[in-house]
Structure 1
């Protein structure tokens, strides 16, 4: 087995591609060692003591190094952990059941209370996010979570390699906001949530 790596726009993050499916559906982010306890793989990566974020995508794992950590030392450790995990076919989540695959409920919560009259607008926004934005963001080792729409403002959260990325503000403002405003005239702004 060979694990490829790709750089991401976030210099603190690397995208690891094991050449096989990681998540059967959805994504999952682990932003703390406590959250990583749900996954033996995420926990093993956090146990290096040099990681601040682990993100599982469909066919990749993004890892964000702690400030001051050198990838030249961390990368071989992460590759070794990933190889051990995938070669042994260990379960991705504790207990080996599929219940750990879904995004935790607190991560799905809307930031704002939405007006039911905006259902068509919200559907358009989510369609654009799913078809145009998510694939591009996944290519950079992350994901985007919809958090709500109110008074013309779309609230989004960047995850994985995209959270904390130096270009995340530009991605939201210049990329996503421009796209949404073009296709959904009711959108006046995009904000990080």
Structure 2
């Protein structure tokens, strides 16, 4: 087995591609060792003591190094952990399995209660996020979550390599906001949630 790596726009995060599916559906973001307790793989990565974030995508694992940690030292450790996991075909999650724990790609449990009168607008926003934005963000080792729409403002959360990326604000404001405003005139602004 060979695990490829790719850089991401976030210099603290590398994207690891094992050449097989990681998640059958959805994504999962681990921002702390406590959150990683449900996944032996995520827990093993945090156990290095040099990892501050793990993100499972469809066919990749994005790993964020702690401040001051050099990838030249951490990368071989991460590759070894990933190889052990995928070669042994160990489960990604303990207990109920991935289906009961993973956040589905179409998750709409937003922070805001959407107004039913905005259902058509919200549907357009979600369709654009799913078809235009999510694939591009996944290429950078992350994901984006819809969190709500109110008074012309779309609330989104960045995950994985995109969370904490120096260019995430520009991505939200210039890229995603421009796209949504172009196709959905009711959108006036995009904010991080």
TM-score (norm 1): 0.96
CA contact (8 A) 1:143 1:162 kept: yes
Question: What residue is the counterpart of 2:117 in the other structure?
Answer: 117
Query: 2 CA distance for matches of 1:108 and 1:94?
Result: 25
Q: Does 1:151 align with 2:151?
A: yes
> Match of 1:16, SS?
strand
Q: Deviations over 1:75-115 (max 9, x none)?
A: 000000000000000000013624444229xx853222211
Distance 2:184 2:164 in 1: 27
In structure 2, the partner of 1:67 is 67
Query: Aligned with 1:10: secondary structure?
Result: coil
Corresponding residue SS for 1:33: coil
Report the secondary structure of 1:55's partner residue: strand
1:14 corresponds to which residue?
14
What corresponds to 1:90 in structure 2? 90
CA distance in 2, matches of 1:47, 1:132: 36
**For residues 150 and 117 of structure 1, what CA distance do their matches in structure 2 show?**
11
SS at match of 1:63: strand
**How far apart in 1 are the matches of 2:96 and 2:71?**
30
Unaligned runs of 5+ in 2: none
Superposed CA offset, 1:124-158 (max 9, x none): 00000000000000000000000000000000000
Measured on the aligned residues, the alpha-carbon RMSD in Å equals 1.3
Aligned to 1:132: 132
Number of the residue aligned with 2:166: 166
Secondary structure in 2 matching 1:37:
helix
Contact 2:23 2:98 in 1 (8 A): no
8 Å Cα contact 1:93-1:100 kept in structure 2: no
CA distance in 1, matches of 2:9, 2:47: 25
The worse-fitting range, judged by mean Cα deviation, of 94-103 and 155-164 is 94-103
- Structure-2 change in CA distance of 1:113 and 1:187 (3 Å): same
Structure 1 unaligned segments of length 5 or more: list them.
none
1: CA distance between counterparts of 2:139 and 2:98? 25
Aligned length: 191
Q: Which residue of 2 aligns with 1:33?
A: 33
